[in-house]
Amino acid sequence: MFEKFHQLNKTFLLLIVVIQNVKLNEAEKIQLLEASHNTYSSLEKHEEQKNNSNKDLMNIQVGKETRASTTYNKSRRLLTKKTWHIPRQKV
């Protein structure tokens, strides 16, 4: 994943160098640079959101495991507690 992002970064840097070296007027160069920057920013934000959603998903999974283990421990305690408090039957 990092390699894709690194390759994308290198591509945009190369694009900026090409735009600066092409014989265009300044307004066209500025438009191309802004467009490339906006595209790069949106892709960067998309990657960041994707990473954050993966982290949230991992946290939710860990939370579910924790809740499940807590429920298991509570049920074990209740079972052991019930067995200790069974009243003796009089014969």
DSSP character string of 29-63? HHHHHHHHHHHHHHHHHHHHHHHHHHHHHHHHHHH
Residue 35 forms part of a structural domain: yes
Q: Which domain holds residue 22?
A: 2-62
**Mean pLDDT across the stretch 44-53?**
74
Number of domains making up the chain: 1
**Mean pLDDT across the stretch 52-77?**
60
pLDDT for res 59: 58
**Mean pLDDT across the stretch 43-51?**
75
Least confident of 26-35, 59-68, 71-80: 59-68
pLDDT for res 52: 72
Residue 77 forms part of a structural domain: no
